[in-house]
Amino acid sequence: MSTVTNRANLSIFVAGFLFGLGLVVSGMSNPAKVVGFLDVAGNWDPSLILVMGGGLLVTVPAFHLVLKNSQPLFEEKFFLPTLKAVDSKLVAGAVLFGIGWGIAGFCPGPALAALVSLNPLVLLFLAAMIGGMLLHHFLLE
Amino acid sequence: MENFTPVTALLGGLLIGTAATLTLWANGRIAGISGILSGVIVPRGRDAVWRLLFVLGLLSGALAYALLRGQPTPLDLQVGPGLTIVAGLLVGFGTRLGSGCTSGHGICGLARFSRRSFTATLTFMLVAIITVFVMRHLMGGTAA
State residue B143's pLDDT score.
Answer: 46
Alpha helices per DSSP H over chain A: 3-26, 31-38, 47-66, 88-104, 108-114, 120-140
- A108 and B37: CB-CB below 8 Å? yes
Check if the interface score ipTM surpasses 0.95.
yes
Q: Please give the average per-residue pLDDT across A78-105, as a whole number.
A: 97
- B136 and A39: CB-CB below 8 Å? yes
Residue span of the structural domain in which B22 resides? 6-138
- Averaged confidence pLDDT in chain A: 96
Is there a contact between B48 and A9 (Cβ–Cβ < 8 Å)?
no
* Domain count of the fold of chain B: 1
Chain B closest CA to A64's CA: distance in Å? 7
Please state, in angstroms and as integers, the Cα–Cα distance from residue B4 to each residue in A40, A79, B26, B65, following that order.
Answer: 13, 37, 34, 21
* Nearest CA-CA partner of B44 in A104, A8, A141, A91: A141
Is there a contact between A130 and B94 (Cβ–Cβ < 8 Å)?
no
* Nearest CA-CA partner of A48 in B63, B107, B60, B83: B107
* Domain count of the fold of chain A: 1
Contact with chain A for residue B59, Cβ under 8 A: yes
Q: Which of residues 112-131 of B touch A (CB under 8 A)?
A: 112, 114-116, 119-121, 123-131
Q: Rounded CA gap, B144 and B81, in Å?
A: 7
Residue span of the structural domain in which A66 resides? 3-140
Per residue in A10-68, pLDDT tens?
A: 999 999 999 999 999 999 999 999 999 999 999 999 999 999 999 999 999 999 999 99
Per residue in B89-105, pLDDT tens?
A: 999 999 999 999 999 99
State residue B115's pLDDT score.
Answer: 97
* Nearest CA-CA partner of A100 in B78, B38, B37: B78
| Residue A41, phi then psi, degrees to nearest 5 | -95, 0
Q: Rounded CA gap, B20 and A5, in Å?
A: 19
pLDDT by position in tens, chain B (length 144): 779 999 999 999 999 999 999 999 999 999 999 999 999 999 988 899 999 999 999 999 999 999 999 999 999 999 999 999 999 999 999 999 999 999 999 999 999 999 999 999 999 999 999 999 999 999 876 444
- Report helix, strand or coil for A32: helix
Chain B closest CA to A122's CA: distance in Å? 8
Residue A116 confidence (pLDDT) above 60: yes
Chain B hits for A101, CB-CB cut-off 8 Å, are: 87, 91, 102, 124, 128, 131
**Identity of the residue in A53, A64, A93 whose CB atom sits nearest the CB atom of B98:** A93
Q: Please give the average per-residue pLDDT across A115-134, as a whole number.
A: 98
Q: Within a domain: residue B143? A: no
State residue B139's pLDDT score.
Answer: 86
